[in-house]
């Protein structure tokens, strides 16, 4: 038996201390009120609401109320209990033991057990969850009893403890999925989870309706009776719905950033950018390296020089963004700015294109390429229009291509694009959310959010692999700094912005952003102040 290092014991003394601290302020917060209907915007309408089968941003907001992970994470990304009430990691970092709650039932009344966790981590995730598949492929997963799960590794993997959230590892019911075609299972349209809210109805083109789970394992929660995620296609109408109180919550792409100043000034609304610490999202222009001229690094560098990143930050994202320098978010402890950067310089872009032999024709056109824009609203349309204009100024003629969400995802996953705009959560550790977009063996045709660009560099593959299993933090820093230098120099992707998503909510709606998952929390604690 390996010696154990306790990560978290949900001990009575600690819990009592936390309660004492919470009520020791000058004015203790009023008791949460039971009842009420939360109306939230959600746009675009998601292609599905089972995490893993779909990982689009609109999928996550409602589905994280239905499904839960073993853990959740605070603003500092420290693990906190969810379906696991305590956990231990061996001193050598090879054994993770999770002690599960024994009072949890699925929404259909069946008991939640360790077999559901084993099934999820060994069958569901390897089949459908592109991002988490390599993480859990490292572990042997066993259930010594109904409420204990043990993961055993062959080598240490530091990021593992931050991999058990509801997005990265949503626990699904074995009795519903085992033996079925996971992607075609009829339950995907009316999912069954353990979360504080149960699926009630999906009225296409109008709303997704969730209702209170009266059998939820935390006493008295959730406080809300129901949640409606309402599909409102027009951004002006979404803003108006917030202003008039028809909806009480909007986040991510739901509100045009140009409207935020006006909304923030309204006394009945609050705006916060907290709650994206776990996600650390970066937007980029993806270029398909399998197609010419994108396989030539000079063309990719020319694209970076043609783009004015300060303009994108200030005029597309209205300051709710930072200029990125490469694949790792600046909020990460593994970030370095000691990389080659690309100031806006159209002359350098033209010189590189000349060097490639892409000289202008009689109309000034050097190359013709397509751009599939992210179909998430006017902001992304404006971004595509700007990219078209900026590349056009250096002689690259861009044809904008439109699609719905499902078609957009299918085309990118099947490598059927020249260029595309997207954004991805880079997560709490580069091994979890960064490496997937750059390592050669994660080119999985037909699977979204893999290395769909087709970038490949054996040295980058080596550095990512070794950094993931290196137990020494300083050595990991060195390797991730080196990988950032290589990827930035080779312009694997054309990074556009580090996103700072605002969440706008009614001032009477409390506990809407209370940890690092922000609006992707389960909302068990959310309530309306009377």
CB burial of residue 289 (10 Å; 0-12, 13-18, 19+): buried
pLDDT for residue 19: 36
Q: How confident is the model at residue 29 (pLDDT cuts 50, 70, 90)?
A: low
Whether 323 is in a domain gets the answer: yes
Q: What is the pLDDT of residues 418-458, one digit of tens each?
A: 999 999 989 889 999 999 999 999 999 998 889 999 999 99
Question: Is the bond into 398 cis (omega within 30 degrees of 0)?
Answer: no
The answer to whether residue 290 sits within a structural domain is: yes
Question: Which candidate, 516, 251, 204, 511, places its Cα nearest to that of 377?
Answer: 251
Mean pLDDT of the chain: 92
Q: What is d(CA 306, CA 396) in angstroms, rounded to the nearest whole number?
A: 10
Q: Write out pLDDT tens, residues 472-485.
A: 889 999 999 999 99
Helix (H) / strand (E) element for 320: namely none
For residue 11, pLDDT beyond 50: no
DSSP H or E segment with residue 5? strand 4-8
Q: pLDDT grade, residue 153 (50/70/90)?
A: very high
Q: What does the pLDDT average to over 34-61?
A: 94
Contact in structure between 316 and 310 (CB atoms under 8 Å): no
Q: Considering only 386-400, 448-462, 463-477, 515-529, which range has the smallest mean pLDDT?
A: 463-477
Q: Is residue 438 part of a domain?
A: yes
Among 57, 417, 524, residue whose Cα is nearest residue 254: 57
Q: Is residue 238 in a domain?
A: no
pLDDT in tens, 121-151: 999 999 999 889 889 999 999 999 999 999 9
Q: Give the residue with greater pLDDT, 297 vs 2.
A: 297
Domain annotation covers residue 296 = yes
Q: In Å, how far from its chain's centre is CA 129? A: 13
DSSP state, 54? Answer: B
By the 8 A CB rule, do 222 and 213 touch?
A: yes
Of 49-58, 167-176, 516-525, which gets the smallest average pLDDT?
49-58
**d(Cα 512, Cα 490) in Å, to the nearest integer?**
41
Domain that holds residue 435: 281-499
Which pLDDT band, with edges at 50, 70 and 90, does 7 fall under? very low
- Cβ contact 491:324 at 8 Å: no
In a domain, 258, yes or no: no
Query: Measuring CA to CA, which residue among 159, 59, 177, 60 is closest to residue 118?
Result: 177
Q: Are 367 and 378 in contact (CB under 8 A)?
A: no
Distance CA 362, CA 366 (A): 10
Tokens of 390: 């900026």
pLDDT digits (tens, 9 = 90+) for 265-319: 999 999 999 998 888 999 999 999 999 999 999 999 999 999 999 999 999 999 9
> Considering the domain boundaries, does residue 342 fall inside one?
yes
CATH number of the domain encompassing residue 477? 3.10.105.10
Residues 6+ apart with CB under 8 A from 472: none
Angle between helices 378-392 and 297-306 (to 10 degrees): 110
Instruction: Domain count for the chain, please give it.
Output: 1
Tell me the CA distances in angstroms from 103 to 46, 73, 218, 238, one per residue in order. Answer: 32, 22, 9, 39
User: Is position 187 within any domain?
Assistant: no
First-residue to last-residue Cα distance in the chain: 53
| Pair 467, 295: CB distance under 8 Å | no
User: How far apart (Å, rounded) are the C-alpha atoms in residues 198 and 108?
Assistant: 10
- Order of all β-strands in the sheet with 139-145: 4-8, 84-90, 95-100, 148-153, 139-145
What number is the average pLDDT over the span 454-475? 94
3-state class (DSSP) for residue 81: strand
200, 226 contact by CB (below 8 A) = yes
- pLDDT tens digits, one per residue of 163-194: 999 999 999 999 999 999 999 999 999 999 99
């Amino acid at each position: 038996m390996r010696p154990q290092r306790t990560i978290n014991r949900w001990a009575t003394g600690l819990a009592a201390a936390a309660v004492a601290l919470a009520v020791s302020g000058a004015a203790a917060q009023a008791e949460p009120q039971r009842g009420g209907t939360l109306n939230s915007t959600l746009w675009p309408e998601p292609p599905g609401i089972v995490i893993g089968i779909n990982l689009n941003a609109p999928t996550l907001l409602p589905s994280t109320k239905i499904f839960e992970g073993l853990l959740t994470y605070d603003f500092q990304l420290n693990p906190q209990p969810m379906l696991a009430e305590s956990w231990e990691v061996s001193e050598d970092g090879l054994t993770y033991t999770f002690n599960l709650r024994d009072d949890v039932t699925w929404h259909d009344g069946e008991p939640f057990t360790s077999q559901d966790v084993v099934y999820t981590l060994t069958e569901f995730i390897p089949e459908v969850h592109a991002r988490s598949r390599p993480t859990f492929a490292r572990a042997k997963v066993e259930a010594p009893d109904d409420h204990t799960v043990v993961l055993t590794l062959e080598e240490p993997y530091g990021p593992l403890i931050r991999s058990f959230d509801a997005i990265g590892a949503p626990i699904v019911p074995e009795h519903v999925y085992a033996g079925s075609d996971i992607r075609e299972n009829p339950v995907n349209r009316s999912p069954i989870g353990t979360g504080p809210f149960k699926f009630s109805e999906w009225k296409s083109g109008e709303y997704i309706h969730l209702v209170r789970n009266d059998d939820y394992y935390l006493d008295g929660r959730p406080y809300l009776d129901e949640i409606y995620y309402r599909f409102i296609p027009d951004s002006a109408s979404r803003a108006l719905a917030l202003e008039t109180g028809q909806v009480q919550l909007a986040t991510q792409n739901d509100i045009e950033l140009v409207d935020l100043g006006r909304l923030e000034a309204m006394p009945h609304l609050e705006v916060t950018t907290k709650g994206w610490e776990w996600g650390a999202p970066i937007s980029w222009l993806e270029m398909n390296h399998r197609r010419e001229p994108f396989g030539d690094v000079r063309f990719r560098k020319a694209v970076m020089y043609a783009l004015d990143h300060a303009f994108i930050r200030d005029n597309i994202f209205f300051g709710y963004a930072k200029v990125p320098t490469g694949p790792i978010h600046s909020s990460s402890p593994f970030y370095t700015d000691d990389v080659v950067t690309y100031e806006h310089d159209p002359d350098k872009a033209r010189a590189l294109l000349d060097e490639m032999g892409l000289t202008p024709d009689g109309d000034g056109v050097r190359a013709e390429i397509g751009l599939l824009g992210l179909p998430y609203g006017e902001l992304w349309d404006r971004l595509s229009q700007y990219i078209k204009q900026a590349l056009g100024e250096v002689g690259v003629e861009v044809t904008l291509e439109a699609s719905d969400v499902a078609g957009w995802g299918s085309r990118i996953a099947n490598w059927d694009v020249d260029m595309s705009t997207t954004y991805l959560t880079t997560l709490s550790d580069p091994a979890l959310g960064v490496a997937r977009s750059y390592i050669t063996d994660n080119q999985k045709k037909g699977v979204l959010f893999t290395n769909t660009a087709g970038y490949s560099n054996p040295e980058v593959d080596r550095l990512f692999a070794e950094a993931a299993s290196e137990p020494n933090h300083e050595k990991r820093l060195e390797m991730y700094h080196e990988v950032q230098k290589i990827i930035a120099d080779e312009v694997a992707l054309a990074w556009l912005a580090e996103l700072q998503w605002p969440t706008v909510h009614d001032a009477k709606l409390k506990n809407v952003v209370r940890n690092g998952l922000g609006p992707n929390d389960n909302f068990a604690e959310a309530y309306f102040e009377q």
